[in-house]
A and B are shown apart, each in its own frame.
Chain A
Amino acid sequence: MSLTDVTTAEFAAGTAPLSAASVGDYWALLKPRVMSLVVFTGFAGLWVAPGHIHPLLAAVAILCIAVGAGASGAINMWYDRDIDAVMNRTLGRPLPAGRMQPNEALAFGVILASGSVILMGLAVNVVAGALLAGTIGFYVFIYTMWLKRRTPQNIVIGGAAGAFPPMVGWAAVTGDIGWPSVALFALIFFWTPPHFWALALFRSGDYQKAGVPMMPVVAGPRETKKQMLVYTVVLWPIAVAPYFMGIAGAAYLALAAVLSLCFTGFSVAVWFDRTDKWPKRMFAFSILYLSLLFALLILDRAPGGLLG
């Protein structure tokens, strides 16, 4: 009797723990779109850090950041499978769609999280490994399990998890936590609330259905829009801080100032808008805003810099 015959018999009897998950389902579990932004900001932290790192070890550091972020996403999907099943945006994910067993997702996430932290600690340095472990732990335990379903401040404090990657990248090169890396952390930390609340404004029905206390659901659109505006203003000094800390040049300073003003402009437009049009536009711009700021930081440090 071949292995295929055994499987066929088990399959027919329904006695084996057979997984119907495809490779694509495992890939989806890693939240690739979130992962790409994390990799980008982590690379920026690594790129602007003073000092030298072997290119292979730099690639390993980025790989570990990517895998660690993906692992966090997988564990998040395992924990949130009940609310994912009632939100239109997340209904098609592998777990709520029934293409994967919950334990598979949890095991996948835990193995990847452990592997990425151990590899970072052994191949790059212990500080970077510890920061990566802290990032994963923060996202899983503090944000996903503790804050997300309890308080409208969930993404304010939970935003720290997404803000750590530049610090991890920085630590991979320097072996410590410098003030400029804290500035990059702050940039993502204070960008997260207006970014997520813009999304929540036009997806509030979904969050309400799932019982997630996002700001628009709990405090209403008016209060949410006010707080979004405040956060975009708080971002002004933080966005230009890399220039004053010596990790970016004058071109970055000028463009960061313009982009930050535009971000606030979007927030003002959202304030006056009673439809979903401007929240959607602001959400799209928020991604562009952060991507451009980090791209500028990288370009400014490239040979020749932004101004040649």
Chain B
Amino acid sequence: MGAMSVSMEEFLKRRKARNWAILAVLVGLCVLFYAITIVRLTH
């Protein structure tokens, strides 16, 4: 078990993909919380 070395280019690519994934999750959560609020208020 040990740290795996990756190239700088690969590291930046993976970090960019992680950041996009986090953005997608955050936007999804915002939409979800909005929808839950509407449902809880109206039902």
Contact = CB atoms under 8 A, between A and B. Distances in A.
Interface in A58-115: 60, 81-82, 85, 95-99, 101
Contact of B36 (A21, A56, A81, A97): A56
Given A21-B18, A22-B18, A123-B40, A96 B1 contact: yes
A54 B8 CA distance: 48
A56 B35 contact: yes
Contacts, number: 51
Contact of B2 (A22, A54, A56, A98): A98
B6 A4 contact: no
Contacts of A82: 1
B4 A11 contact: no
B32 A8 contact: no
A307 interface: no
Contact of A18 (B2, B11, B36): B11
Contacts of B40: 123
A19 interface: yes
B3 interface: yes
Nearest to A81: B1
Given A56-B39, A57-B36, A123-B36, A97 B17 contact: no
A1 interface: no
Interface-central residue, B11, B14, B32, B40, by most chain A CB under 10 Å:
B14
A23 interface: yes
A20 B36 CA distance: 35
Interface in B1-43: 1-6, 8, 10-12, 14-15, 17-18, 21, 32, 35-36, 39-40, 43
A112 B4 CA distance: 25
A11 B12 CA distance: 10
Contacts of B5: 20
A95 B4 CA distance: 10
Nearest to B20: A23
A99 to B, nearest CB: 5
Given A57-B39, A101-B3, 4 more contacts: A4-B12, A23-B17, A23-B18, A60-B32
7 contacts: A11-B8, A11-B11, A20-B5, A20-B10, A23-B17, A54-B39, A98-B3
Interface of B: 1-6, 8, 10-12, 14-15, 17-18, 21, 32, 35-36, 39-40, 43
